[in-house]
Amino acid sequence: MRIGIVNDMRAACEALRRVVNSLPDHVIAWTAVDGVEAIAMAKRDRPDLILMDLIMPHVDGVQATRQIMTASPCAILVVTATVSGNISLVYEAMGFGALDAVDTPMLGPAGEVSGAGSLVDKIGIIAKLVGSTGEPRKKSGTTTAATPPRLLVVGASTGGPKAVSDLLLPLPQDWNTAVIIVQHVDVAFSQGLAKWLGDRTHRAVRVAEHGQQPVAGDVLLAGTNDHLVMSKSRTLEYTEEPKEIFFRPSVDVFFESVADHWPQTGIALLLTGMGKDGAKGLLKLRTRGWHTIAQNEASSIVWSMPKAAIEAGAACEVLAIDQMPRVISARLTG
């Protein structure tokens, strides 16, 4: 896999170079010192993956991500000095198409690199994605409703945070519907993403708890590196299986479990994302009578996931993200 490095700090660049050079089958495509240079380099020589810093002069990593994903889209991993200290910028970058985020490894006085484990792991996951080679939570005490609510289930990946926020904002606040979102995001960011979505949409967005049964008004987000599933008893649970699926949490696994175990039909959405996760699950929901919608190409940051679903015949409709709330409201509040 060919990797571009974007960072204005010499020590950080050197640490990243050493990490990439230590990995078999990965090479450095180029190095850029700020967002302006990164945008130009990506246009001239698009790599498989860009390691993108956030805080840089001239054009920061958020705007560089936005422009690269518009003009020459490729996988982008945010690599910044402190993810927790820049969490708002991290989610902005993810909204424009960055896949994930990780702290920058440190270069020691003797030239040793520390803190590279998470970066190496994420590069490995992204390599699989682009085709180059927590403990369970306590059971919720939520009181269940006598009649289960309608469900709006959402799957998203690259560019998903912004798409989900744009989707949720216009939807009714008071309706007999629970919203459950599976977004490809590491467990380290799930609580922060829930808060970010809540702040942007003025809703109580929460991470789903193991054993929780959805009730009307819930907006729940898959929150661990295990798969979220709907159980036979209509509760949300986390499971390691199937272990061979490296998308974690998997949209397919969740959608298929909902098709098998939820007692009434609802609406399922497959939004912007890289790869094909969600296509099989969306098709299964459609065959069970659910109304299925795939995001259109023009409003997607990366159209791979919706496109795969459309090609599989899984989508009843193909809509822009700003068209979806009206259709959803008409179907679920009627």
Active-site residue, from 157, 250, 257, 304: 157
Active-site residue, from 53, 100, 218, 277: 277
Q: Kindly state the tokens that stand for 235.
A: 């509760």
Q: Which of 293, 224, 250, 272 has its CA nearest to residue 70?
A: 272
- For residue 157, indicate whether it is catalytic: yes
Q: What sign does the dihedral 139-142-257-179 (CA atoms) show?
A: negative
Torsion of CA 211, 151, 273, 187, to 10 degrees: -20
SS (H, E, C) 248-316: CCCHHHHHHHHHHHCCCCCEEEECCCCCCCCHHHHHHHHHCCCEEEEECCCCCCCCHHHHHHHHCCCCC
Active-site residue, from 184, 210, 227, 291: 184
- For residue 72, indicate whether it is catalytic: no
- 80 forms beta bridges with 103
Q: Give the catalytic positions in this structure.
A: 157, 184, 277
